[in-house]
Homo-oligomer: A and B are copies of this chain.
């Protein structure tokens, strides 16, 4: 399936927004859209057949599995996010769909060529990369929080912000893209502790659960306060 940038929901925010329409059209010929179902992996650690991609819709995780089989989630990727390591001969981490997702995939050679041809693209990717770095550090600060419920509250607040597409506003109701196990792998906790912390927050009146995945936040600001002040 080839690309139709005109209707792309992330055309304003993705890295390719740095290109003019004709420039983008050239790049679009090289790209392909790809869909992933929840759980499907886009890249696996160790792969060398390098490609990269912009996420159009859905959500991805970047994860590493250590030898004892424990998965650690290192990053979440939201629409307009870019994944793929441009300067490494092989992938260091797994990239897996958290929800059914749609992406715009480019072979690495194509991106490198585009990078060389369009200076603006390099700057746009630099910007994205710096944003990713900032997100990564936010996540570190998040997982460094004191107690399990503080971590969870902070994560839920982040996810609520990501769910509402107006940045800086938290959605009052959203679906978790993560299972309990994935939340645990992200926060460095166990499934059981995540579950207990959820019921704790619910008992405190900070949220309501709608089935296993639905979350309602009567007052997002209180949740944020419960997480402790942001460390930035």
Chain A residues with a Cβ under 8 A of chain B: 45, 62, 64-68, 72, 74-75, 85-88, 92-93, 115, 119, 122-123, 125-127, 129-134, 136-137, 139-141, 143-145, 188, 228-232
Contacts and interface: CB of A to CB of B under 8 A. Distances in A.
Contacts of A62: 137
A167 to B, nearest CB: 14
A72 B146 CA distance: 11
Contacts of A125: 126
A67 B224 CA distance: 14
A45 B141 CA distance: 14
Copies per complex?
Answer: 2
A102 B130 CA distance: 24
Given A122-B123, A140-B72, A188-B144, A134 B232 contact: no
6 contacts: A72-B141, A86-B127, A92-B137, A92-B232, A93-B232, A115-B123
The 4 closest A-B pairs by CB, nearest first: A67-B229, A119-B119, A129-B129, A64-B231
Contacts of A123: 115, 122
Nearest to A122: B122
A228 B85 CA distance: 25
Nearest to A134: B92
Nearest to A62: B137
Contacts of A74: 137, 140-141
Contacts of A232: 45, 64, 92-93
A106 to B, nearest CB: 15
Given A74-B141, A125-B126, A228 B136 contact: no
A51 to B, nearest CB: 15
A65 B137 contact: no
A140 B141 contact: no
Nearest to A119: B119
Contacts of A87: 127, 130-131
A113 B206 CA distance: 48
Contacts of A140: 72, 74, 136, 139-140, 143
Contacts of A139: 140
B72 A144 contact: yes
A140 B88 CA distance: 19
